[in-house]
């Protein structure tokens, strides 16, 4: 029990928040929904530092461009820089998605150039994403660059991602019951530290 507590105690430093589109947030793991080309798309050539979403501009039908990934519990943060090539931003809004619900970030009749920094709480298993929407699919798209992405701490255990937030572990009783998490915790905290602590306990 002592070595279990010791490993979990090191978790906050060992499981640093994932910065940029790497690891469990690599762009290859996200799902893109778009027509591609003039129909709008997600450009990932700037990854892992940034991605760029361009709204539909093919003259119809009107379809949003989405980029989504299932999350573990925690907070997602990111910066966004938007430019409208339409008459005004109202026709090509940008925002984020949670389980398909759209939360617009751009101001409809604001400037053609807009930007912001966001922090979004996500629950275990929720589908989070970005959307470049449009209501006319013509006269110029909205183009948004997403950068400085930071996702929640996660561990991939038994085919699923789990939050490694210390508070969540305490609430779920991890200190007393979650011995199934030892392999994941040890793998990141360091096998050497685990074995050394275990050896000391055996001597005692």
The pLDDT of residue 100 is: 96
Place of tokens 């619900």: 101
Q: Where in the chain is the domain with CATH 2.60.120?
A: 18-152
Q: Distance between CA 63 and CA 46 in Å, rounded? A: 24
The pLDDT of residue 161 is: 65
Q: Are 96 and 131 in contact (CB under 8 A)?
A: yes
SS3 for 140? coil
Give φ, ψ of 177 to 5 degrees: -120, -30
- Give the confidence band of 38 by pLDDT, cuts at 50, 70, 90: low
Place of tokens 């990934």: 69
Q: Average pLDDT, stretch 142-157?
A: 90
The gap from C-alpha 118 to its chain's centroid, in whole angstroms, comes to 12
pLDDT, tens digit (0-9, with 9 covering 90-100), for 45-83: 999 999 999 999 988 778 899 999 999 999 999 999 999
18-152: CATH, from 2.60.120, 1.10.10, 1.10.3470, 3.60.40:
2.60.120
């Amino acid at each position: 029990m002592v070595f279990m507590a010791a490993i979990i105690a090191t978790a906050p430093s060992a499981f640093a928040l994932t910065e940029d589109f790497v690891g469990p947030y690599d762009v290859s793991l996200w799902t893109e929904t778009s027509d591609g080309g003039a129909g709008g798309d997600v450009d990932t050539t700037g990854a892992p530092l940034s991605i760029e979403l361009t709204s539909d501009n093919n003259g119809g039908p009107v379809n949003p461009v989405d980029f989504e990934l299932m999350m573990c519990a925690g907070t997602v943060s990111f910066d966004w820089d938007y430019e409208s090539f339409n008459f005004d931003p109202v026709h090509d809004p940008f925002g984020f998605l949670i389980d398909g619900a759209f939360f617009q970030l751009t101001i409809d009749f604001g400037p053609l150039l807009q930007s912001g920094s966001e922090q979004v709480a996500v629950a275990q298993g929720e589908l989070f994403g970005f959307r470049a929407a449009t209501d006319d699919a013509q006269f110029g798209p909205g183009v948004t660059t997403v950068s400085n992405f930071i996702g929640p701490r996660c561990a991939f255990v038994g085919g699923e991602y789990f939050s490694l937030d210390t508070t969540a572990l305490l609430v779920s009783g991890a200190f007393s019951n979650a011995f199934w998490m030892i392999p994941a915790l040890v793998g990141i905290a360091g096998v050497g530290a685990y074995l050394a602590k275990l050896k000391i306990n055996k001597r005692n």
